[in-house]
Chains A and B, each alone.
Chain A
Amino acid sequence: MRKESNTQAMGEPESGSARSESTGEVITTAHGAGGERMRKLVDRLVGGRFDVAIEGGVGLDAFDDGAVIPIGDDSLVFTTDSHVVSPLEFPGGDIGRLAVSGTVNDLAVMGGTRPLGLTCSLVVEEGTSVDLVERVVESMRVACAEAGCSVVTGDTKVMGSGEIDTLVVNTTGVALVPTGQFVPDAGLSPGDAIVVSGTVGDHGISLLAAREGFDFEGELESDVAPLNGLVAAALEAGGVTAMKDPTRSGLAGALNEMATKSGVGIEIREADVPIASAVASAGSVLGIDPMMVANEGVVVFGCDPADADAILAAVRDHPLGADAAIVGQATADNEGSVVLDTGIGRRYLREPEGDQLPRIC
């Protein structure tokens, strides 16, 4: 397709469109790090273009983990994610396992715990070993088996040497949820208990340690895994009011987003946040707070306080939830902020600004 015809097909922006003045700004890796800069970029790209609400569901205006489109008694849960992790194979997983888990988990935290199928698009750099690509695809098969789904359609493209870094994997997933029963990230009310399903920071800290060449004697591993089974167990156990997949900006980012969108404060007891000792040690050596880095095998739940113990018990019964804990609660005070009780004092826990860990997922 010629570029001109493409432009024509898009048409001139309509009057009142959100097209901004050129700022001469260029994209940097900080724009992709999930923090404030990324949100500003997404606001500029999406705001006024696609941020249309979906009645009875979830559209791009909600900036949630996925979309929910009502179609009769059921709603379609729909999400997509491109994966660019470096290194492609890391302790505890690889880009294939990550691509399946990331999309399955985005569906699950919207309430879509039974994925119907995934798409898989591979963009491969010329010169990449076929064995590597096959290992990645085989790893996707294993992760799909754990999640109880399959890749049902896909696409493969090759780019020239140096035009892309080795391998990019995009996955899109769909699932069904009974209409009206999806779980937003914005559903917290004051008093709701906050449950974290496992140790935090494992993915981000282990990738960074691997990249920096730190040897922690194999104790550091990514936790990347499909969590739809764990989420289903929690949903069955009681009233889950909000869910979030604390990926790129970590537990701190997820909690801040939930607090802001729900119009509540959140108070967290630092001593109750599960952090594996190897992750805590590596984090302190690297100067990085495990609460500020990506997770790929953790869910944050908001729970009706009356059901919190039952939900915690159900999550702990699941093989991936043994370290789950109630870490705090939503509050009417400090709306839009997260307060951290350090055991010695109190301070705000802010979301990371981004860019400390590029290409984490």
Chain B
Amino acid sequence: MSMRPDVEDLQFRDPAKADVLADRLATLQDQIGEPVAIMHVCGTHEQVIAKFGLRSRLPDGLSVRMGPGCPVCVTTMREVDEALAIADSGAIVATYGDMFRVPGTARSLADAKAEGADVRVVYSAMDVAALAREHPDREVVFFATGFETTAAPTAAMLEADPPDNLSVLSAHKYVPPAMAAIAEMPDTDVDGFLAAGHAATITGSGIFESFVEEYGIPVVVGGFEPLDVLGGLVALLELVASGQPGLENAYPRCVSEAGNVAAQDAMWRVFEQRTGEWRGLAEIPAGCLDLAPAYADWNARERFDVEPAAATVDPLTEQCRCGDIMAGKASPEDCPLFGGACVPSDPVGACMVSSEGTCKIWYEYGGHPDL
């Protein structure tokens, strides 16, 4: 009987190759001679790092932290409250599973469903169009969250002749401006970014060129197998050691320089950038994606009165450090609630809800391995 996972995985999970990369990281860190802080902006990267225990292989002085890479986590309470107001008005609200249990000011969509609202979990934007066609007599609202990877499918759905009873409550976010915002924060110190390979399949690696030029911080686009991550970190340390900020694509088997041009075109026909809040972080200039005027007819904010009711905030959220964690200024273990008052089955902050949230990932894979 064959005992191990698929063969094609193995070439990216080879312990001997991992040893070579870990040795190279140690040599480079030694050469640099001062602490290096790398930020990645993707929950999938954090999952790989935690699941395979990659932090235990990093040399002293090299830290890798997750930034605002969890789309569910950066969705604001107000956006959740808007979805709740629409659900309470009697419309069907469809959203991705990760959003279902994220607390708004006072409640989550799961709470609303338990109280009788019609909330559906969908796996794709196209599912929402199908749902709306199945219920022509109901309003169906897609509470659309996520980065470029899900914004492009939302755009494709809206361009494919959606039914009239469908509308979109966009909470989509756009990652490149958030990286710039973090680079500009006075109290964050990031020496390099490991950019998310799957978002870059849409945007292309070239999108980071202007960022590298403007901020002088190296960017490497990385994939999601353990050797991809270690290889990406080697590329970043090489750039740091060289003293020359640069851009490298360490995930060329999926990412091209130009990206998916058709998807980008669709995205920019349907959406426009707006300055707006990322939960826990700040106002991000041009970091939010709203429906463009040409798609106003499908904009749930135009169709519904989505002024959410005022509610009292759970006092525990005052102690929640999701914001600092997403800015890379704190780790989950710096939060007094982590693993005690805040656990996946009873989360306080969004970072403990989503499978892409830093806290949930750390909780699942046993916290920070000081091994």
Give Cα A350–Cα B18 distance, bound, in whole angstroms: 24
A335 to chain B, nearest CB (A): 14
Partner of B53, one of A271, A280, A334, A344: A344
A151 within 8 A of B: no
Which residues of the partner chain A approach B5 to less than 8 Å between Cβ atoms? 277, 280-281, 284
Give Cα A344–Cα B48 distance, bound, in whole angstroms: 11
Which residues of the partner chain B approach A348 to less than 8 Å between Cβ atoms? 365-367, 369, 371
Listed residue (A276, A334, A347) with the most chain B CB atoms within 10 angstroms of its CB: A347
Which residues of the partner chain B approach A287 to less than 8 Å between Cβ atoms? 355
In the complex, the answer to whether A323 meets B1 with C-beta atoms within 8 Å is: yes
Q: Which of B54-62, B88-96, B135-143, B258-266 contacts A (4 or more CB under 8 A)?
A: B54-62
Which residues of the partner chain B approach A334 to less than 8 Å between Cβ atoms? 371
In the complex, the answer to whether B3 meets A30 with C-beta atoms within 8 Å is: no
Listed residue (A280, A340, A345) with the most chain B CB atoms within 10 angstroms of its CB: A345
Contact with A along B331-354 (1 / 0, CB 8 A): 000000000000111000000000
In the complex, the answer to whether A354 meets B345 with C-beta atoms within 8 Å is: yes
A168 within 8 A of B: no
In the complex, the answer to whether A353 meets B365 with C-beta atoms within 8 Å is: no
| Chain A stretch 306-346: residues in CB contact (< 8 A) with chain B | 323, 334, 337, 339-346
In the complex, the answer to whether B52 meets A344 with C-beta atoms within 8 Å is: yes
In the complex, the answer to whether B50 meets A280 with C-beta atoms within 8 Å is: no
Interface residues in B, total, Cβ within 8 A: 31
Give Cα A271–Cα B13 distance, bound, in whole angstroms: 11
Give Cα A292–Cα B99 distance, bound, in whole angstroms: 24
In the complex, the answer to whether B345 meets A346 with C-beta atoms within 8 Å is: no
| Chain A stretch 276-302: residues in CB contact (< 8 A) with chain B | 276-277, 280-281, 284, 287
B362 to chain A, nearest CB (A): 10
Which residues of the partner chain A approach B364 to less than 8 Å between Cβ atoms? 350
In the complex, the answer to whether B1 meets A281 with C-beta atoms within 8 Å is: no
Give Cα A347–Cα B46 distance, bound, in whole angstroms: 13
In the complex, the answer to whether B3 meets A277 with C-beta atoms within 8 Å is: yes
Nearest residue, chain A, Cβ from B344:
A353
In the complex, the answer to whether B53 meets A355 with C-beta atoms within 8 Å is: no
Partner of A346, one of B355, B363, B371: B371
In the complex, the answer to whether A275 meets B51 with C-beta atoms within 8 Å is: no
Give Cα A343–Cα B355 distance, bound, in whole angstroms: 24
Which residues of the partner chain A approach B344 to less than 8 Å between Cβ atoms? 353
**A contact patch SS:** loop
In the complex, the answer to whether A347 meets B50 with C-beta atoms within 8 Å is: yes
B106 to chain A, nearest CB (A): 18
Nearest residue, chain A, Cβ from B369:
A347
In the complex, the answer to whether A345 meets B53 with C-beta atoms within 8 Å is: yes
Nearest residue, chain A, Cβ from B364:
A350
B26 to chain A, nearest CB (A): 14
B115 within 8 A of A: no
Which residues of the partner chain B approach A30 to less than 8 Å between Cβ atoms? 345
Which residues of the partner chain A approach B51 to less than 8 Å between Cβ atoms? 342, 347
In the complex, the answer to whether A345 meets B55 with C-beta atoms within 8 Å is: yes
B285 to chain A, nearest CB (A): 35
Partner of A347, one of B4, B13, B53: B53
A246 within 8 A of B: no
Which residues of the partner chain B approach A339 to less than 8 Å between Cβ atoms? 369, 371
In the complex, the answer to whether A353 meets B53 with C-beta atoms within 8 Å is: no
Partner of B2, one of A36, A271, A277, A346: A277
- Chain A interface size band reads 20 to 34
Which residues of the partner chain A approach B363 to less than 8 Å between Cβ atoms? 350, 353
A186 within 8 A of B: no
A112 within 8 A of B: no
Which residues of the partner chain A approach B57 to less than 8 Å between Cβ atoms? 344-345
A263 within 8 A of B: no
In the complex, the answer to whether A350 meets B15 with C-beta atoms within 8 Å is: no
**B contact patch SS:** loop
B226 within 8 A of A: yes
B358 to chain A, nearest CB (A): 15
Give Cα A341–Cα B230 distance, bound, in whole angstroms: 17
Whether A345 touches B366, Cβ cut-off 8 Å, given contacts A277-B3, A353-B344, A355-B345, is no
Contact with A along B39-79 (1 / 0, CB 8 A): 00000000000111111110000000000000000000000
Which residues of the partner chain A approach B56 to less than 8 Å between Cβ atoms? 345-347
Whether A343 touches B13, Cβ cut-off 8 Å, given contacts A350-B364, A350-B365, A350-B366, is yes
In the complex, the answer to whether A344 meets B3 with C-beta atoms within 8 Å is: no
Nearest residue, chain B, Cβ from A355:
B345
Whether A344 touches B15, Cβ cut-off 8 Å, given contacts A277-B2, A323-B1, A339-B371, is yes
Which residues of the partner chain B approach A209 to less than 8 Å between Cβ atoms? none
A173 to chain B, nearest CB (A): 31
In the complex, the answer to whether B345 meets A344 with C-beta atoms within 8 Å is: no
Give Cα A348–Cα B230 distance, bound, in whole angstroms: 20
Contact with A along B1-16 (1 / 0, CB 8 A): 1111110000001010
Which residues of the partner chain B approach A342 to less than 8 Å between Cβ atoms? 51-53, 226
Nearest residue, chain B, Cβ from A338:
B366
In the complex, the answer to whether B13 meets A344 with C-beta atoms within 8 Å is: yes
In the complex, the answer to whether B345 meets A353 with C-beta atoms within 8 Å is: yes
A349 within 8 A of B: yes
In the complex, the answer to whether A276 meets B6 with C-beta atoms within 8 Å is: no
In the complex, the answer to whether B1 meets A345 with C-beta atoms within 8 Å is: no
A261 within 8 A of B: no
Whether A276 touches B55, Cβ cut-off 8 Å, given contacts A344-B13, A348-B369, is no
Which residues of the partner chain A approach B367 to less than 8 Å between Cβ atoms? 348, 350
| Chain A stretch 24-44: residues in CB contact (< 8 A) with chain B | 30, 36-37
Give Cα A275–Cα B6 distance, bound, in whole angstroms: 12
A302 to chain B, nearest CB (A): 21
Contact with A along B299-321 (1 / 0, CB 8 A): 00000000000000000000000
Which residues of the partner chain B approach A340 to less than 8 Å between Cβ atoms? 53, 366
A274 within 8 A of B: yes
Which residues of the partner chain B approach A341 to less than 8 Å between Cβ atoms? 53
- In the A-B complex, the 7 residue pairs with the smallest Cβ-Cβ separation, listed nearest first, are A348-B366, A345-B53, A347-B53, A277-B2, A343-B15, A344-B18, A346-B56
19 A–B contacts, CB within 8 A, in A order = A271-B15, A274-B3, A276-B1, A277-B2, A277-B3, A339-B369, A342-B226, A343-B13, A344-B57, A344-B227, A345-B54, A345-B56, A345-B226, A347-B50, A347-B366, A349-B366, A350-B365, A350-B367, A353-B343
Given contacts A344-B227, A345-B226, 8 further A-B pairs with CB under 8 A are A36-B345, A277-B1, A277-B2, A280-B5, A340-B366, A347-B366, A353-B344, A354-B345
